[in-house]
């Protein structure tokens, strides 16, 4: 799972792209996922090779963050449940496995040069947030 993450990482570095984006449909909602590679001096949890920021396509007010490393994804299960509206905990492991599978299939292997308007807005939003937050 997540085989394409290393291909995307290599392509982003080759093209000097700091943030890539892709669309993600989950729980009957569209999201834009921003893929950020860590800077060389940045400390990342669990040897992460990328940070993924999820934004609802029509509202960037709330975000969900996870990290990917060679072993898969690292995320706070409670925050994940809250952000995506996953109720109950009876089958949480199965739901997380399904989420991981869907996500692994949708991560691109190369940088997409043709961004949608929503993707460009999300990238601009992230840049503005980073500028404001330092």
Secondary structure (3-state) at 25: strand
Which is higher by pLDDT, 71 or 111? 111
Residue pair 123/56 in contact by the 8 Å Cβ criterion: no
- pTM assigned to the model: 0.87
Backbone φ and ψ for 44, nearest 5 degrees, come out as -125, 150
Residues of the domain holding 15:
4-133
DSSP-derived pairing of the beta strands 29-36 and 72-74:
unpaired
Distance CA 50, CA 34 (A): 10
H or E stretch including 61? strand 59-69
Distance CA 86, CA 124 (A): 29
Least confident of 36-40, 64-68, 126-130: 126-130
User: Which residue has 């905990």 as its token pair?
Assistant: 89
Q: How many domains, in total, are found in the chain? A: 1
Secondary structure (3-state) at 31: strand
At 84 the pLDDT is 93
- pLDDT tens for each residue of 12-39: 999 999 899 999 999 899 999 999 887 7
């Amino acid at each position: 799972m997540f085989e394409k993450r290393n291909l995307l990482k290599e392509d982003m570095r080759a093209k000097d792209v700091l943030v890539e984006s892709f669309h993600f449909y989950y729980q009957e909602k569209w999201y834009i996922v921003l893929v950020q590679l860590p800077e060389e001096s940045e400390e990342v949890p669990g040897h992460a090779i990328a940070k993924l920021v999820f934004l609802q396509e029509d509202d960037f007010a709330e975000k969900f963050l996870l990290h990917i490393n060679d072993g898969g994804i690292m995320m706070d299960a409670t925050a994940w449940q809250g952000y995506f509206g996953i109720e109950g905990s009876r089958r949480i492991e199965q739901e997380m496995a399904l989420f991981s599978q869907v996500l692994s299939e949708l991560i691109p292997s190369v940088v997409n040069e043709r961004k949608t308007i929503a993707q460009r807005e999300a990238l601009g939003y992230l840049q503005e947030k980073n500028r404001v937050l330092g």
